[in-house]
Each structure stands twice: as C-alpha cells, then as structure tokens.
Amino acid sequence: MLAYMNRESLEKILEEGRTCFYSRSRRKLWFKGGTSGNTQLVKKIVLDCDNDTLLVLVEQKRVACHTGDYSCFFKEIKCDKIEEIKLESPIYLRKEQAEKIKSSQGESKGEQLEVDSEIFDDIYK
C-alpha cells in the first residue's frame, strides 16, 4: 500500500512498532488497522537515496487493501487494458502457504505462525 507520513507519524511508528500514517484530507494521524483490525507490525524501515521516501517492511495481519485484497497492488496496465495480477513475492507465498495449511490441517495457528516466521526471516535479513 502507499500512504503519507509526517514526522509525528514516523515518531509513532518508532515508539509503537506498528504503522501510523498522516491523512492529508482529515489532517490527522491514523494507525493501519485501527478500525478494521488489519494491522501492520513494522519489521524494518528503509530510506531512499534522496532521504525523502520510506519503504516500511511489515508483517501484515490479514489484508492491506480496503478492497479486501492482500495487497493494494494487484492490477497491471498492458497496452490498452488493465489486468488483475498476482505478484510473485514472499508476501503472496506466505498467504498461499497459510491457506494450504488451513485447508489441510484446519485452523492450526501454530503451523501458520511457523510458516510466517520462516518466510519473514528470509524477507527481513
């Protein structure tokens, strides 16, 4: 997902370890998942070469997008049409593995957490 931050929202992230953004339209801070429960636990914050953009790597709890999709980025522009896509990334792999575990072993949260930690170890080295 893409969201705006200001100094205060970054300070909140560093204090609390969960994503906090600045709503330019409402002119106030908001925590991801504050009403939906779709929270993001911050694992790493990376700064770009110009020091004006942050990439916040998170452990996503449930979905990120307000549409109910796991990621906000699931459409690709191809010539004159837009196609829904599935990005090949560890995040999507994690979702697929969690779904496999749920379908084959029921709601085994211990198993899902084991898969999550293995994949997040690879992502956040």
SS3 12: helix
Give the pLDDT of the chain (125 residues) as one tens digit per residue: 889 999 999 999 999 999 999 999 999 999 998 988 889 999 999 988 998 888 999 988 888 888 887 778 888 888 889 988 876 555 555 555 556 545 654 444 444 334 344 544 544 44
SS3 105: helix
Note whether 4 and 21 are within 8 A (CB).
yes
Neighbours of 91 (CB within 10 A): 18
How many whole angstroms separate alpha carbon 42 and alpha carbon 19?
A: 6
Cα R_g (the chain), whole angstroms:
16
